[in-house]
């Protein structure tokens, strides 16, 4: 799928699950995106792997650190299927999902916006003329 197709699917799922029953302010959307980035930072600071699956049944972590699962993964100890993906990459994905959800709500062509900004960035000087970070 391209980004706009992801945007549409993600936004449809958010609507189906009740996340757009009332209007949210732009500030609320930004705060929710920021909270996902803060969660990614906390995962990093806690030394958590990029991706892990957490079995909600027996509270055991049941996967190889850093392994990526593209579908729901069964618990290797008990076979339980209600496994929540966690980790740094998952929190980053949550932020992208929130951004794409908002783009779907607002009708933003995110592919075009990324392309425009990327093309502009290619013309910028080294570290934007002296920025340190």
Q: What is the pLDDT, as a whole number, of residue 65?
A: 42
Q: What is the pLDDT, as a whole number, of residue 83?
A: 63
- Transcribe 74-107 into DSSP letters: --TTT--S-EEEESHHHHHHHHHHHHHHHHHHHT
- Between CA 132 and CA 89 the distance in angstroms is 26
Q: What is the pLDDT, as a whole number, of residue 127?
A: 86
Phi, psi of 86 (to 5 degrees): -140, 175
What pTM value is reported for the model?
0.79
Q: What is the pLDDT, as a whole number, of residue 64?
A: 45
Closest residue by Cα to residue 66 from 80, 86, 84: 86
Q: What is the pLDDT, as a whole number, of residue 101?
A: 98
Q: What is the pLDDT, as a whole number, of residue 30?
A: 98
Tokens of 25: 């302010």
Q: What is the pLDDT, as a whole number, of residue 54?
A: 58
Provide the residue-wise pLDDT of the chain in tens; the chain has 133 residues.
999 999 999 999 999 999 999 999 999 999 999 999 999 999 999 988 887 765 554 444 444 444 444 445 555 554 555 567 788 999 999 999 999 999 999 999 999 999 999 999 999 999 888 877 7
Q: What is the pLDDT, as a whole number, of residue 71?
A: 44
CA dihedral (119, 121, 126, 131) in degrees, to 10, reads 170
């Amino acid at each position: 799928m391209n980004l706009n197709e992801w945007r549409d699917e993600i936004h449809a799922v958010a609507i189906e699950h009740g996340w757009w029953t009332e209007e949210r302010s732009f500030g609320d959307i930004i705060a929710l995106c920021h909270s996902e980035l803060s969660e990614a930072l906390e995962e990093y600071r806690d030394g958590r792997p990029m991706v892990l699956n957490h079995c909600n049944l027996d509270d055991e972590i049941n996967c190889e650190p850093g392994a990526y699962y593209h579908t729901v993964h069964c618990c290797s100890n008990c076979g339980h299927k209600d496994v929540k993906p966690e980790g740094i990459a998952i929190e980053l994905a949550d932020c992208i999902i929130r951004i794409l959800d908002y783009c779907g709500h607002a009708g933003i062509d995110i592919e075009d916006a990324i392309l425009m900004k990327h093309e502009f960035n290619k013309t910028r000087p080294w570290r934007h003329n002296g920025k340190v970070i």
